Structure 1
Amino acid sequence: MVRLKVEKMGCGGCAKSVTRAVQAVAPDARVEVDLGAKLVTVSGASVPADRLAQAIAVAGYPAEPVLAAA
């Protein structure tokens, strides 16, 4: 599971764009969007977090992987 912070994401249209960007590089991924927290959770993908973040950024939404707490 990968979590990404997407600060510019603020509406349902943004969420759809981010979801499409993730699924373009990880078609089988399950994408959950939390607009309030500006977080995207991706599960079921074998794509590295930095590649997912790059795909989201190309769609116009800079993203940063969120490191899991130890």
Structure 2
Amino acid sequence: MQLFHVETMTCQGCAAAITRALQAVDGTALIQTFPSIRLVKIQSDLDQPTLIEAFANAGYPAEPYTGDQRGES
């Protein structure tokens, strides 16, 4: 399971756009989005750089989640 922080994901519409973009590069990925905490969980065989590129291409820059992003505990 890979975790990503997406600062610009603020609503379900954003989450849906991100999910579509990720599924376009990996149709078998399991994706969970949590807009209220700006977190995306992905189970995929793709590597982190490829997933980060998919986020960016969708207009939602992402970074690996470290657990210490602003507002997280």
Do both share a fold (TM > 0.5)?
yes
**What is the DSSP-based 3-state SS (H/G/I as helix, E as strand, rest coil) of the residue aligned with 1:32?**
strand
1:10 aligns with 2:10: yes
Give structure 1 regions of 4+ aligned residues with deviation exceeding 4 angstroms.
none
Percent identity (aligned): 40
Structure 2 gap segments, 5+ residues each? 68-73
Q: Deviation at 1:37?
A: 1.0
Q: Deviation at 1:67?
A: 4.5
Residue of structure 2 equivalent to 1:61: 60
- Cα RMSD of the aligned pairs, angstroms, is 1.3
**What is the DSSP-based 3-state SS (H/G/I as helix, E as strand, rest coil) of the residue aligned with 2:19?**
helix
**What is the DSSP-based 3-state SS (H/G/I as helix, E as strand, rest coil) of the residue aligned with 2:37?**
coil
- TM-score in terms of structure 1 length: 0.88
Q: Deviation at 1:35?
A: 0.8
1:21 aligns with 2:26: no
**What is the DSSP-based 3-state SS (H/G/I as helix, E as strand, rest coil) of the residue aligned with 2:3?**
strand
1:48 aligns with 2:56: no
- TM-score in terms of structure 2 length: 0.85
Counterpart amino acid of residue 18 in structure 1? I
In the comparison of the two structures, how many residue pairs are matched?
67
In 1, the alpha carbon distance for the partners of 2:4 and 2:30 equals 14
